[in-house]
Amino acid sequence: MNALQQQTRHTAPQNISSTAFRDAMSHLAAAVNVVTTDGPGGRAGFTASAVCSVTDDPPTLLVCINRSASAYPAFADNATLCVNVLSAAHQEVSNTFGGKTPMAMRFEHAEWTTRETGAPVLADALAHFECRVSQRLPVGTHEIMLCEIVSMATHDAPECLLYFNRQYHQLPRAIASAG
């Protein structure tokens, strides 16, 4: 058996449990975001990696939220949200919004402002996308929120924050060109 075969772990269809799925999904590197909202449902925020671009016409992204999350009722009742993309400087912000911290305490750290929608905007986010939730699709334990962009900004921080193999990683903006 060669080295590649030794390092490859196959899971039989009948063994694809949520634990096996999570183990496999831990192999996907992802950007780390804090998704926030404010409105009739109250102010809330949670750390999310299940965020991605959907289409550029109209500019739309998606966020997947666990309906068991303490933040979910606020997102269910509010029509707008903000995706704050974290830079390498925001690892503690990710931990704060990653669960178990009481919602009221989550916004005590870092610098938060409001702009178009009233959703909390992280002042030095790598990028932020203020959105109107245009569609909601319940799937299993989660809800996929399709979000049309109403306002956005970028900030050229030197390093982004990634989540891979259940750990945070930092990636520089410009890979020093070899040579």
Ligand X SMILES: Cc1cc2c(cc1C)N(C[C@H](O)[C@H](O)[C@H](O)COP(=O)(O)O)c1[nH]c(=O)[nH]c(=O)c1N2
Ligand Y SMILES: NC(=O)c1ccc[n+]([C@@H]2O[C@H](COP(=O)([O-])OP(=O)(O)OC[C@H]3O[C@@H](n4cnc5c(N)ncnc54)[C@H](O)[C@@H]3O)[C@@H](O)[C@H]2O)c1
Q: Which residues bind ligand X (CB under 6 A)?
A: 32, 46-50, 64-66, 69-71, 94, 98-100, 163
C-alpha–C-alpha distance, residues 107 and 48, integer Å:
16
**Cβ atoms 130, 115 nearer than 8 A:** yes
Neighbours of 13 (CB within 10 A): 5
Per the structure block, which two tokens stand in for 64?
A: 């997947």
Helix (H) or strand (E) holding 41: none
CB-wise, 50 or 54, nearer to ligand X? 50
Q: State the nearest-atom distance from the C-beta of 73 to ligand X, in Å.
A: 11
- 69's contact among ligand Y, ligand X, none, with CB below 5 to 8 A by partner kind, is ligand X
- 166's contact among ligand X, ligand Y, none, with CB below 5 to 8 A by partner kind, is ligand Y
Is residue 67 near ligand Y by the rule CB under 6 A?
no
Binding mask 119-148 for ligand Y (x = CB under 6 A): ----------------------x-------
The binding site for ligand Y (CB under 6 A) comprises 22, 25-26, 28, 49-50, 64, 66, 141, 166
